[in-house]
Structure 1
């Protein structure tokens, strides 16, 4: 018996994509395999590590826990969608680069999307709020200190860009 396929239109990073997927295709798999957006990484496949985090209507979601058919009427933002319109790094990406917030980089896309959403909700977090913001994302390499510094630096960059007309 063959699995029934469903036609879906996913809005990802402001672009509509059509795909034909099984009903149980995970959003992470649809992004990576059907749309070729490989920036979203799949780690634990149980929603624990946060590597697969994307923004769904601006909120961080574990794409390994969501079916692609459930995302049809949502706006999805992946790590690829966090760059500026001119292709330069967005403020959270820039902060990670400046503060050495990554080592192997596997967990980084999930951190970047999580922090982007967190700074939209709280653009001036305290040190403790920065730590809390990333509490649901796991990293096996960095020890988190530089990631926390990157969140603090990203808040500065977002604050600066908002006074000059930019956005997180």
Structure 2
């Protein structure tokens, strides 16, 4: 898995007008374009409102600042971050993915002692709750992550089929025996 603590490179096409504005703003602010872009991205992301996934099961329609939600679920552990994103609710992935992931992490097979959300990076004291407590076996999930990903892809490609994860594993094992 990639080291998520380092900076990543993104590529974006922008109109020449915005590029010229970035160049000029960089000079005006006395900082490199990259630093300016980071600040502008953060500022823009702070302007987005997101549904409150930490409402303790109540669908009250409340909103939180997107970056506050993001900071609550962020972790450098890519698997844990993706699980948190999916489990936060269908607004943060899709209804289909959310249903599939919640059924997986609620299954007895993946039950364990790691609290998926933990203390929400310190926000639990402020909000007082999470959508639902998921106690998972994170080591097992990481061990089977590629297979879980394959299972989700299989379900996407075969919309008329919906085997359980355990059935999917048995199906793959029986195919590999042949």
Q: TM-score, normalised by structure 1?
A: 0.28
Higher strand share: 1
Q: TM-score with structure 2 length normalisation? A: 0.27
Structure with higher RCO (Cα < 8 A, 6+ apart): 1
